[in-house]
Amino acid sequence: MLSTEPMCLLSHLRRHGQSVWLDGFERGSIIRGRLPQLVAQHDLQGLLLNFTGLEQGLDSPHYDQDFRAMERHPDLDVRALYEYIVIRDAQMAADLLKVVHDQTHRYDGYVNLDLSPECMFDAQRTLSEAQRLWQTVGWSNLMLKIPATPATLSVLELLVGQGMNVNVTLLFSPQVYEQVAQAYLRGLELFAMQGGDLSKVASVVSFSVGRLDESVDTLLRTRLDQASEPQEQELLSSLLGQVATAQAKVIYQRYQALHQSARWQNLATLGGQPQRLLWADIGLDNNQARRWFYLESLLGSGTVVTLSAAAIHEGCNGEQFEAGLNTNLEIAQQTLAQVEQLGLSLEAIADQLLLQGIQQSTTAFEQLLRTVEQKRQLRRLQ
């Protein structure tokens, strides 16, 4: 029997209008009943598949059936075998979360699936891959993950215009958020012109909080080591760990302003769903205190937060905290201004982090393919 602690945390966030999606999935969590229990009893609202989680999960016996089935197709390449496995995972998870999808009227209950990182700088390839995976998985609560590159952003409105759900990942700046938000609106307008039901389309924008703070803090600490004036040292120290939440609050203000516009109100009248902000990577360094700081600072209505299974099971020990996303806005603006005055370009950092994120995804994908091939070869030797 699971502890009641996850209920404390997830239910608390839900009371403030924030959904919790599980970051990472492996098939055994469904088969052993842990994931169904989190969904049924503890208010889990969605989940994200990722390359690393699947690569680690392949060691379990729950994937043996897939490899046995593929023995009848010895000429199948490793990418096709990977897709066979991950599509089954996505379908099983989507089946489990369909009840959440229905109960929330398509607001939650999504299973997020990555496109191949190899197509992230090719608009046509991104479009083709998304269309193929969408049709192959065949579940309406699938959400396709694409990073916010110039190529993929040009495709976003086409995907939404065709009725597909999209999670735009690796967001780090308000400027890129504006581009993403406008592309989503154009996509909804396109779908509406084609007679589509806007209530059946959803999208989120994933802001990688922890990655931004890690990158900025590295630069700040370098400056701090070189600083000789007490006043400069104090300023640099005060900015450590504060930049990502400040950036998130600015983006959330833009999100709120957008949804007060006449353009959005017209789409909402047709059933359009807001493109929610998703807070990702809030536990990169496994620092519990840092994670709770993010949870409190980024708690706000109409947003999503991703947590690992370990973080969910830690619960909140009965603690209650207020929503911080709409608080200390002047301090947030001041923090960002001070960073720029130090000569640190947040836009340049965002561009670098996007490229790093795609490279990390590519590396994880390649490792996953190697593991799939190794497991297949081991079965052939048995």
**Beta-carbon-side half-sphere exposure of residue 35 (alpha carbons within 13 Å):** 27
Distance CA 133, CA 83 (A): 9
Residues with catalytic annotation?
145
Task: Retrieve residue 267's tokens.
Answer: 């789409």
Dihedral of CA 299/301/304/310: which sign? Answer: positive
Distance CA 20, CA 40 (A): 14
- Asked whether the beta carbons of 48 and 169 are under 8 A apart, the reply is no
Question: What are the phi and psi torsion angles at 257 (to 5°)?
Answer: -65, -40
Dihedral of CA 251/257/258/259: which sign? Answer: positive
- H or E stretch including 278? strand 276-280
Cα–Cα separations (whole angstroms), residue 76 to 69, 80, 82, 318, 380: 11, 6, 10, 52, 14
Q: How far is CA 161 from the centre of its chain?
A: 21
